[in-house]
Chains A and B, each alone.
Chain A
Amino acid sequence: MMKRYDMIVVGAGPAGLSAAIEAAKKGMHVVVYDENAKPGGQLFKQIHKFFGSKEHKAKIRGFHIGEELLAEAAELGVEVVLNAIVIGIFPEKEVTVKVEDHVIHVKGDTILIATGASENMVTFPGWTLPGVIGAGAAQTMMNLHGTLPGKRVLMLGSGNVGLVVSFQLMQAGCEVVAVADAASRVGGYGVHAAKVARCGVPFYLSHTIISADGEDCVTGVTIGEVDKNWQIIPGTEKHFDVDTICLAVGLSPMSKLCDMAGCAMEDNPAKAGFVPTVNEYGETSVPGIYAAGDVSGIEEASSAMIEGRIAGIAAAARLGFISEETCKEEAAKQEAALEGLRQGMFAPGMRGKQITETEEGVEISQNLLKHGFVAEEEIERFPGVTHSAGVHPVIECTQNIPCNPCQDACPKHCIRIGSNITALPSIDPEKKCTGCGMCVASCSGQAIFLVNEDCGDGTAEVTLPYEFLPLPQKGDKGVALNRKGEKVCAAEVVHVRSAKAFDHTNLLTMKVPKEYAMKARFFREEETA
């Protein structure tokens, strides 16, 4: 007899697992199929702290969120079948699954398709050479298998994936020679760009790859500036010796299974591709078949988890495990959380729009969009950047993104964001900073510094987040780098703090001449400048 489930979930990533958890909580019998040998989708490759607020698991690193989801699913008795490829969805929700060398046939009263996305690529002479890899491949090699993708890397793409992976490449020990993007402005969060730029990585916007060199593998790359018709401007070519070219040029929904199941589909640029049309619960045009996560529109993993939960709740109501009222109530809560994530300058509805000022009316840093860092003459206008005697936070958060852990992190309530999660953090001048550093460690964008602008002896102290090895020690001498990653002055490490609560974000305090208090933003251990 064909095995029957209340819900069949395709894909054990953030959306699929969250849906399975929610459905199982309501008493449903759930199975999750995933084609990979390990569950979690891409979560286990995400080693940065997530954005959002508490309810979105902000400031928790992606792989820890993956561990939490798996533990929760296991506790609820969700069956997760790995190395299992769903190869067909037929009328009456019959599903065929290839497991090892045979095909099984199961039936679901509801189905959730959470197959995620695949990476886009671009072509150029030499793009098929070994050494040209997807950004996802770089993450897989480094973060799952402890393998360096290369020694010297050029990143193509300045969206969040390109920026986050560039930083991860440096954390793993690679040199990133440049971030290039054909777009004229940095696509990802400014804070992600800024943490890459201050390490000395140059940004080349309006630049794309002309060609990759090499016979049997990559030995170099040439990029060039593009005009407004995306044509290379002669004479703008720049060559880099690299062994790796990393492509982070977007994701596309992997929605074939939805199409195959007969769901109405649409080509929707706001969702980054060919997606099933879904209602507010993620239900497709086929009653009882849901879609959640990147398969129904490219967004962050945080959104995928909430979409999954909503689909799980709706499926439970459909089968009568919960009442319509309970469904509405619970889904409304999740939708409010989702709405919170879809605010700000990077919200799905904002794609392609030119933004000139923040919600607060502060002029946007054009240098950040052009070069990946906020210029010295721009930084003072943001509300998180203030001056006072003694140690105080300097928050270089200059774009409206849905994120607020810094507000809760400060035990003295020095930092204000308010109820609008995308508001720029500001400093309460009445409250006294104790220099505890919780805000520095809590900032997923690594945009908070503690600064004592005048220590009284002609020096200043700057405390910065530091997530590299080897970890400098007290007394180490080196150079301070500015926001652009240029050496600006000599620096000495006076303090390095590591605590469990900081979750591997070390707090490095360096002493610099006081005129560099608002310029020095990174430390490098080398000969003094």
Chain B
Amino acid sequence: MRIQEHPILGTYEKGKLVSFTFDGKPLEGYAGEPIAMALKNAGVMVHRYTRKEHKPRGIFCAIGRCTDCVMVVNGQPNVRTCITPLEEGMEIRTQYGVTAEQPGGAAK
């Protein structure tokens, strides 16, 4: 959810509204904001599932340190979405282990 107006900070400077896809589904976010913020505002909580136990992971530190939020971005796995700026047309995929392939099946 976006904060429309903040009592101390007022309104937030935003980039251009751009389209991107999450697991093939079209979504919108602001260019330049971290991918993770665009996803969070679209209601996406799970960024990846761990390889061995298939446990969900999402944003934890939000400053690029913990690597919990990594996803497959434009085909490249392990991209820290909390510090990678969103660009028009980006293809973001849930990461399973270290790939976009679900175990025992094709990519969503």
A positions within 8 Å CB-CB of B: 35-37, 47, 61, 63, 118-119, 128-134, 136-137, 140-143, 145-148, 151, 171-173, 215-217, 467-469, 471, 504
Contacts and interface: CB of A to CB of B under 8 A. Distances in A.
Contacts of A118: 65
Given A134-B62, A137-B62, A504-B7, A217 B56 contact: yes
Contacts of A142: 3, 6
Interface stretch (B41-49, B71-79, B95-103): B41-49
Contact of A148 (B1, B57, B82, B83): B1
B1 A134 contact: no
Given A148-B3, A171-B7, A119 B55 contact: no
Interface string B62-97: 111100100000000000001101000000000000
Prevailing SS type, chain A contact patch: loop
18 contacts: A36-B63, A128-B68, A130-B45, A130-B46, A132-B60, A136-B62, A137-B61, A141-B37, A141-B40, A145-B34, A147-B40, A173-B3, A215-B56, A217-B46, A467-B7, A469-B5, A504-B7, A504-B8
B58 A141 contact: no
A147 B2 contact: yes
B83 to A, nearest CB: 7
A173 B2 CA distance: 10
Interface of B: 1-3, 5-9, 12, 14, 33-34, 37, 40-41, 45-47, 55-65, 68, 82-83, 85
Given A47-B9, A147-B41, A468-B7, A131 B58 contact: yes
A148 B12 CA distance: 13
Contacts of B55: 128
A522 to B, nearest CB: 15
A132 B9 CA distance: 25
Nearest to B83: A37
Contacts of B40: 141, 147
A25 B6 CA distance: 37
A216 B61 contact: no
A133 B45 CA distance: 12
Given A131-B58, A142-B3, A147-B37, A61 B46 contact: no
A146 B12 contact: yes
Nearest to A505: B8
A146 B7 CA distance: 12
Contact of A171 (B6, B14, B57, B85): B6
Given A148-B1, A216-B45, A140 B63 contact: yes
A132 B56 CA distance: 12
Contacts of B5: 469
Given A130-B58, A467-B7, 10 more contacts: A61-B8, A129-B56, A130-B47, A130-B56, A136-B62, A141-B40, A146-B6, A147-B41, A216-B45, A216-B46
Contacts of A468: 7
B58 A147 contact: no
Contact of A147 (B1, B46, B64): B1
Nearest to B66: A134
B56 to A, nearest CB: 5
A136 B58 CA distance: 15
Contacts of A35: 64
Contacts of B3: 142, 146-148, 172-173
A31 B56 CA distance: 41
Pick the 8 closest A-B CB pairs, nearest first.
A130-B58, A137-B62, A146-B12, A217-B45, A130-B45, A140-B62, A148-B1, A145-B37
A505 to B, nearest CB: 9
B60 A133 contact: yes
A141 B82 CA distance: 10
Nearest to A254: B65
A398 B87 CA distance: 51
B7 A137 contact: no
Contacts of A134: 60-62
Given A142-B3, A143-B9, A147-B40, A133 B65 contact: no
A486 to B, nearest CB: 23
A151 B3 CA distance: 12
Contacts of B34: 145
A171 to B, nearest CB: 5
Contact of B2 (A130, A132, A146, A471): A146
Contacts of A504: 7-8
Nearest to B55: A128
A405 to B, nearest CB: 17
B7 A136 contact: no
A215 B62 CA distance: 22
B33 A145 contact: yes
A143 B12 CA distance: 9
Contacts of B57: 128, 130
Contact of B59 (A36, A61, A130, A471): A130
A172 B6 contact: yes
Nearest to A151: B1
A110 B42 CA distance: 47
Nearest to A47: B8
B3 to A, nearest CB: 5
A215 B49 CA distance: 12
Given A147-B40, A469-B7, A136 B1 contact: no
Nearest to B4: A146
